[in-house]
Structure 1
Amino acid sequence: MKKRMISFASLGLVCATFFLSCETKDQAAEEQLDVALETPAKIISNAKAATLFQNDQHTRLSQIGKANTSFKDKAIHFDLETLENYINRLETVATSKNIPITGASFVFGADANGKRTVFLMPSTRNADLDYQESFTIENGQFLTFKHVDSSLKPQNSSQNDENLVFSTNGFLSFNEATSLFNNYQNQYIQPFAKKVTKDYYTKAVWYSLDEFKGYINYLKKQSDKHHIAITGVDVFFGVYDIDASLELKSNAQTIFLTASTQKQTIVNVTGKSLQSLSKQDFFAKDSKETNESLTFNEGHLSPPPPRG
């Protein structure tokens, strides 16, 4: 009888171990699935981020006499909470004014001293030209901000009464945004166009509202999970490789986003800084590794190339 009891007990232990093992495996699989679902599709590896950053230095700044631009002047900082509030505001405006806001574009600009910047504008799809066109509203008037134009004309009267154009220095009027946009054309696109002929030159990068929200939520979760004080998003100009497989993105200007603390720009959950990464031999690293990355890219470049 004792032997039979021992046998049943042993069988019970085997079964318990089996089911616990299955449960552990299922739990691990679920956790991996959760991580995969929570990681935005446009998160890129640190190697890609460093490549974009260095390409910008070598193929743009160095080519137009701005090779001495400091790292500090390359970082365009947005407060994380303020950025989240701005995206939420666009959703509110879309509902209250019945405007089909599809997302927001980082529009390229430069100040009077030639320092590059970006500012955010809501976008709606231009069906005729087949691209995401930025706009703002002033004095009840809907004003488009056409990236397809080489320069924009200021309005006779302009004020940021709706607060739809968001910059690192607060909200801008249409005319203030126009001035930055035209400065970028004169100081960055025209000098480069004299050396490299392209069908079009990037003037903005678009993301959907869901992509913005997904990235912000991702940074907040990574901040809590890894005990990193992420307080903002830093935007950097980048340039894609000269690669025929990239088609229209080959040698194209873009921007990429990554996290920042109060002290520095960081590109992964270990707190690695972009500045230190770009100085190292990052090419040997696995370019597909994104599990620890905090960097966001692959936005839609604007304007589109001219139709043939």
Structure 2
Amino acid sequence: MKNLIYIILGAIIGAVLTYYFCPRQLEGEESVKIVKPKNVISVKEAKVLNDNWTLYRKAAVDSAAQKQGRKEDDRSTYWSLTDIENYLEFAKNESDSLGYQMTGIRVYLGVYGKDADESKKDLTTMFIVPTGSKSKASSLNLNFIGNDEDVPGGSPLNRGTGGGGGYPQ
């Protein structure tokens, strides 16, 4: 009989501890499932791509910077996570108002022209453009690979912080 009391008491204490220490979803809170995007590459692959860019493109690209008195051209652009998150929400909203369903982004290389200020004149930049497909009036809106286009009138994101150097070794 004594053993049965200990077993029951242990089960009750275990249940109470489980209730208080095990994570649980709060009422009204959605669980967030984190999915690794397809086409994520390894750090090793990124270094190979960076090294190939250095081998095949750096001299040609840096020649424009040297004409402006800089040692090298920018080869990367940085935007804060907040800027990217805000831009994605803004671009989704703007695409919707333009009659498009935003399904992605495209990153373009660009060059500031001769009319840019001295610090950017003729140097490389990168900008992001929203992509998507024309929204349909019906509830059936299937997006197939290859149907996405740059959203006409969609506002591009530019003016990140230019980077030099290259991918960290």
- TM-score over 0.5 for the alignment? yes
Shift of 1:238: 0.2
Shift of 1:195: 6.8
Q: TM-score w.r.t. structure 1 length? A: 0.34
Give the counterpart of 1:266 among 151, 156, 160: 151
Percent of aligned pairs with the same residue?
21
- Structure 1 pair 302–230 and aligned structure 2 pair: CA distance change class (3 A): same
Contact between 1:267 and 1:295, CA under 8 Å: does it hold in 2? no
Separation in 2 of the partners of 1:203 and 1:296?
17
Contact between 1:219 and 1:259, CA under 8 Å: does it hold in 2? yes
Give the counterpart of 1:190 among 59, 72, 80: 59
Separation in 1 of the partners of 2:83 and 2:63?
35
Q: 1:295 and 2:164 equivalent?
A: no
CA deviation digits over 1:99-145, x for unaligned, max 9? xxxxxxxxxxxxxxxxxxxxxxxxxxxxxxxxxxxxxxxxxxxxxxx
Give the counterpart of 2:128 among 257, 261, 281: 257
Q: 1:240 and 2:112 equivalent?
A: yes
* SS of residue matched to 1:298: coil
Shift of 1:224: 2.9
Shift of 1:263: 3.3
- Structure 1 pair 224–194 and aligned structure 2 pair: CA distance change class (3 A): closer
* Unmatched runs of 5 consecutive residues or more in structure 1: 1-88, 90-162, 269-292
Shift of 1:187: 1.6
User: Considering only CA atoms, is the larger Rg found in Structure 1 or Structure 2?
Assistant: 2
Give the counterpart of 1:226 among 98, 122, 127: 98
Q: Which amino acid aligns with 1:208?
A: S
Q: Which amino acid aligns with 1:251?
A: D
* Unmatched runs of 5 consecutive residues or more in structure 2: 1-33, 133-146
Flag the structure with higher strand content.
1
Separation in 1 of the partners of 2:81 and 2:62?
32
Contact between 2:74 and 2:123, CA under 8 Å: does it hold in 1? yes
* Corresponding residue of 1:121: none
Flag the structure with higher helix content.
1
Contact between 2:64 and 2:123, CA under 8 Å: does it hold in 1? no
* Corresponding residue of 2:13: none
Q: What aligned pairs does 1:68-83 form with structure 2 within 5 A after superposition?
A: none
Shift of 1:178: 0.6
Q: TM-score w.r.t. structure 2 length? A: 0.58
- Structure 1 pair 202–267 and aligned structure 2 pair: CA distance change class (3 A): farther
Count matched residues.
Answer: 114
* Corresponding residue of 1:178: 47
- Structure 1 pair 267–247 and aligned structure 2 pair: CA distance change class (3 A): farther
Contact between 1:201 and 1:303, CA under 8 Å: does it hold in 2? yes
Shift of 1:242: 2.2
Q: Which amino acid aligns with 2:164?
A: P
- Structure 1 pair 185–267 and aligned structure 2 pair: CA distance change class (3 A): farther
* SS of residue matched to 2:101: coil
Q: What aligned pairs does 1:43-122 form with structure 2 within 5 A after superposition?
A: none
